[in-house]
Amino acid sequence: MTLQPHADAILPEKIFHTTVVDLNYAERSGNRPAIVFLHGIGRTWRDFLPLIPAFAESQVYALDLRGHGKSGRVANAYASGDYAADVIAFLKHNLDRPAVILGHSLGGMIALRVAAEVPKLVRAIIVGDTVLCRDSLASSMYQELFVGLYEIVMTRAPGQQLAKRLAQVQVRVPGLEEPVGLGELLGNRTDLQEWADCLEMLDPAALRAIIDASTFKDFDCEGVLKRIHCPVLILQANPQLGGLMSEEALEKVQRHLPHVEVARFRLLGHALHLGRAQPVIEAVEKFMAAISI
């Protein structure tokens, strides 16, 4: 991940108090409709620093989800509806017109649910390589990865020690017979340390809810898709490079959302913009221009 210089000065952080949890978020003013950024499991709003500068005229809100970053923790409340309720409360309090929601991975699933539940608050959604059902996650390399991450998070080790342990976590990569250590896979100490820093702030219960499927228990994929009427852009990573959204999952989306736009990134894995931001920026800009945002 490439951090922009003086990021905290560009995007001051604030706290929004819901009735349940305090949400940390970064904000930047702008004249164009707001873009609300929602990160993936075990990450923070700073994942979007490679993207945010490209949308210089837009109002920006980048949230730390509950249990992540500097946001508060809530015992045993990490179902998709819990996350969505936080975002809905945030939108109702902070926005005076519908926003674009850009969610990556877990954030993409939350974006879908928010668009279904409060359509008047959502102008469009951009969904980055999300998982639509528990089965597709269980059959991927990520279930094993999340178990490994959970084990090191539970050590409560400080960031530098977490980075060393993170490098040793073994994952099965499509096309390779033997597992590969994350340190070898990432090949970048900065990325590894930033991931470790995210994990140091993570509530382990949020990760456990992914592993035991509690996060997905209340997510009715077809029911959600049927209630979405705003423009939708899907950012699909290459499944052969670790992308979560298969062609079968994409076909399900297209059956219920026949006008959905799809941008396929054959050279990018699940991390998308954390790998190469520019192709993602171009796809998002094209989509937003087409719907006059």
Residue 204 in this model has a pLDDT that exceeds 80: yes
**Mean pLDDT for the stretch of residues 239-255:** 87
| 240 and 118 within one domain | yes
Letter for the amino acid at 130?
T
- In this structure, is residue 211 part of a structural domain? no
- pLDDT for 245 equals 87
| 172 and 106 within one domain | no
Percent of the chain with pLDDT strictly greater than 70: 93
- Which uninterrupted H or E stretch holds 127? strand 122-128
**Mean pLDDT for the stretch of residues 72-101:** 97
Answer for the pair 87, 63: CB distance below 8 angstroms, yes or no: yes
- pLDDT for 140 equals 65
Pick from 108, 240, 226: nearest CA to 173: 240
Q: How many CB atoms lie within 10 A of CB 228?
A: 22
DSSP label at 9?
H
| 250 and 182 within one domain | no
**Mean pLDDT for the stretch of residues 18-41:** 96
Phi, psi of 2 (to 5 degrees): -100, 115
Phi, psi of 271 (to 5 degrees): -65, -20
DSSP letter string, 69-123: TTS---TT--SHHHHHHHHHHHHHHH-SS-EEEEEETHHHHHHHHHHHH-GGGEE
Per-residue pLDDT reduced to its tens digit, 123-174: 999 999 998 766 666 556 788 889 999 999 999 888 788 999 999 988 887 7
Q: How many CB atoms lie within 10 A of CB 209?
A: 22
Of 206, 231, 260, which residue constitutes the final position of a domain? 206
Whole-number CA gyration radius for the chain: 18
Banded pLDDT at 10 (limits 50, 70, 90): low
Answer for the pair 25, 45: CB distance below 8 angstroms, yes or no: yes
- pLDDT for 239 equals 86
| 273 and 164 within one domain | no
Number of domains comprising the chain: 2
- In this structure, is residue 2 part of a structural domain? no
| 168 and 269 within one domain | no
Q: How far is CA 52 from CA 37, 46, 166, 291, in A?
A: 9, 10, 27, 19
| 107 and 33 within one domain | yes
Which residues fall within 8 angstroms of residue 140, CB to CB, at 6 or more apart?
A: 244
| 83 and 38 within one domain | yes
> Which residue in this structure is represented by tokens 């026949």?
258
Residue positions counted in the chain: 293
**Mean pLDDT for the stretch of residues 247-252:** 88
Paired residues of 35 in beta bridges: 60, 100
| 236 and 111 within one domain | yes
Report the CATH number at residue 110. 3.40.50.1820
- pLDDT for 7 equals 45
Looking from the CA of 75 toward its CB, the CA atoms found within 13 Å total 0
- pLDDT for 242 equals 83
**Mean pLDDT for the stretch of residues 212-239:** 94
- pLDDT for 293 equals 82
Distance of CA 188 to the CA centre of its chain: 21
Paired residues of 102 in beta bridges: 37, 126
* Domain carrying residue 151: 142-206
| 126 and 36 within one domain | yes
Per-chain mean pLDDT for the chain:
90
